[in-house]
Amino acid sequence: MTMKRMKTLLAVACLACGGTAVFPAEEQPLYRNPSESVEVRVADLLSRMTLQEKILQLNQYILGENSNVNNIGEINSSFIPGLGSYIYFNSDARLRNEIQRKELEVSRLGIPLLFGFDVIHGFRTIFPIPLAQSCSWNADLVRQSCAVAAREARMSGVDWTFSPMIDVARDGRWGRVAEGYGEDPYTNGVFAVAAVQGYQGDSLTGSGSVAACLKHYVGYGMSQGGRDYEATDISAQALWDTYLIPYEMGIRAGAATLMSAFNDIGGTPATANHYLLTEVLRNKWGFSGVVVTDWNAVEQLMSQGVAADRKEAACKAFMAGADLDMKDFCFKDHLEALVTEGKVPLARIDSAVARILALKFRLGLFEQPYTVEVPDAKRVLLPAYKEVCRQLAEESMVLLKNEAGTLPLRKKNVAVIGPMADDRENLLGSWSAQGRVEDVEGSIYENLRAELGPEARVTYARGCAFDGTDRSGFREARKVARKADVVVVCLGEKKSWSGENASRSTLALPAIQEELLAEVAKEGKPVVLVLSNGRPLELCRVEPLCDAIVEMWQPGIVGGKALAGILSGRVNPSGKLAITFPWFTGQIPLYYNSRQSARPLQGKYQDQPTVPLYEFGHGLSYTSFEYGDLQLSADTIRRGEKLKVEVRVTNTGKVDGKETVHWFVRDPVCSIARPVKELKCFEKRTIRQGESQTFCFEIDPERDLSFVDSDGNRFLEPGTYYVMVKDKRVCIELLE
Instruction: Tell me which residues are annotated as active site.
Output: 294
- With CB atoms as reference, the residue minimizing the distance to ligand BGC is 162
The residue from 20, 68, 268, 506 that contacts ligand BGC (CB under 6 A) is 68
Nearer to ligand BGC, 431 or 695 (CB): 431
**Contact between 184 and ligand BGC per CB under 6 A:** no
Among the listed residues 449, 401, 443, the one whose alpha carbon sits nearest the alpha carbon of residue 426: 443
- The single-letter DSSP state of residue 602 is S
| Whole-number Å distance between alpha carbons of 279 and 21 | 39
Bridge partner list, 507: none
The end-to-end CA distance of the chain, in Å, is: 80
Amino acid identity of residue 229, one-letter, is Y
In whole angstroms, the minimum distance from the beta carbon of 330 to ligand BGC comes to 16
Count of C-beta atoms within a 10 Å radius of residue 26: 5
| Whole-number Å distance between alpha carbons of 421 and 469 | 19
In whole angstroms, the minimum distance from the beta carbon of 156 to ligand BGC comes to 16
Nearer to ligand BGC, 446 or 500 (CB): 500
**Contact between 53 and ligand BGC per CB under 6 A:** no
**Contact between 118 and ligand BGC per CB under 6 A:** yes
Query: Binding residues for ligand BGC, how many (CB under 6 A)?
Result: 9
In whole angstroms, the minimum distance from the beta carbon of 262 to ligand BGC comes to 7
Nearer to ligand BGC, 499 or 617 (CB): 499
**Contact between 299 and ligand BGC per CB under 6 A:** no
Distance set, CA 239 to CA 213, 706, 713 (Å): 20, 16, 12
Q: Identify residues 384-413 at the interface with ligand BGC (CB under 6 A).
A: none
In whole angstroms, the minimum distance from the beta carbon of 428 to ligand BGC comes to 17
The residue from 264, 299, 446, 500 that contacts ligand BGC (CB under 6 A) is 500
10 Å CB burial of residue 378 (0-12, 13-18, 19+) is: exposed
Among the listed residues 244, 241, 195, the one whose alpha carbon sits nearest the alpha carbon of residue 220: 244
Nearer to ligand BGC, 103 or 294 (CB): 294
Residues present in the chain in total = 736
In whole angstroms, the minimum distance from the beta carbon of 242 to ligand BGC comes to 20
Q: Identify residues 150-179 at the interface with ligand BGC (CB under 6 A).
A: 162
Q: Identify residues 200-219 at the interface with ligand BGC (CB under 6 A).
A: 215
Nearer to ligand BGC, 118 or 395 (CB): 118
Amino acid identity of residue 112, one-letter, is P
| Whole-number Å distance between alpha carbons of 315 and 333 | 11
Amino acid identity of residue 25, one-letter, is A
Nearer to ligand BGC, 295 or 385 (CB): 295
Do 66 and 72 form a contact (C-beta atoms < 8 A)?
Answer: yes
Among the listed residues 223, 205, 208, the one whose alpha carbon sits nearest the alpha carbon of residue 156: 208
Distance set, CA 225 to CA 232, 235, 505, 506 (Å): 10, 17, 8, 10
In whole angstroms, the minimum distance from the beta carbon of 435 to ligand BGC comes to 15
Nearer to ligand BGC, 69 or 673 (CB): 69
Count of C-beta atoms within a 10 Å radius of residue 639: 14
Nearer to ligand BGC, 256 or 539 (CB): 256
**Contact between 70 and ligand BGC per CB under 6 A:** yes
Preceding peptide of 408 cis, ω within 30°: yes
In whole angstroms, the minimum distance from the beta carbon of 61 to ligand BGC comes to 12
**Contact between 303 and ligand BGC per CB under 6 A:** no
Do 301 and 316 form a contact (C-beta atoms < 8 A)?
Answer: yes
Task: Phi first, then psi: give them for residue 560, nearest 5 degrees.
Answer: -60, -40
Do 99 and 79 form a contact (C-beta atoms < 8 A)?
Answer: yes
In whole angstroms, the minimum distance from the beta carbon of 193 to ligand BGC comes to 20
With the C-alpha atoms ordered 218, 223, 226, 228, is the resulting torsion angle positive or negative?
Answer: negative
In whole angstroms, the minimum distance from the beta carbon of 216 to ligand BGC comes to 6
| Whole-number Å distance between alpha carbons of 106 and 186 | 47
Nearer to ligand BGC, 53 or 325 (CB): 325
The residue from 294, 328, 519, 538 that contacts ligand BGC (CB under 6 A) is 294
Binding mask 75-114 for ligand BGC (x = CB under 6 A): ------------x---------------------------
Nearer to ligand BGC, 329 or 622 (CB): 329
Give every CB contact of residue 632 below 8 A, 6+ residues apart in sequence.
Answer: 643, 644, 645, 730, 732
Amino acid identity of residue 197, one-letter, is Q
In whole angstroms, the minimum distance from the beta carbon of 311 to ligand BGC comes to 23
Count of C-beta atoms within a 10 Å radius of residue 8: 15
Count of C-beta atoms within a 10 Å radius of residue 141: 23
Do 163 and 217 form a contact (C-beta atoms < 8 A)?
Answer: no
**Contact between 295 and ligand BGC per CB under 6 A:** yes
Strands (E) in 405-551, as ranges, are 413-417, 457-461, 486-492, 527-532, 548-551
In whole angstroms, the minimum distance from the beta carbon of 153 to ligand BGC comes to 14
Among the listed residues 392, 517, 381, the one whose alpha carbon sits nearest the alpha carbon of residue 440: 381
Task: Phi first, then psi: give them for residue 286, nearest 5 degrees.
Answer: 70, 30
Bridge partner list, 117: 161
Nearer to ligand BGC, 87 or 732 (CB): 87
* Interface with ligand BGC (CB under 6 A): 68, 70, 87, 118, 162, 215, 294-295, 500
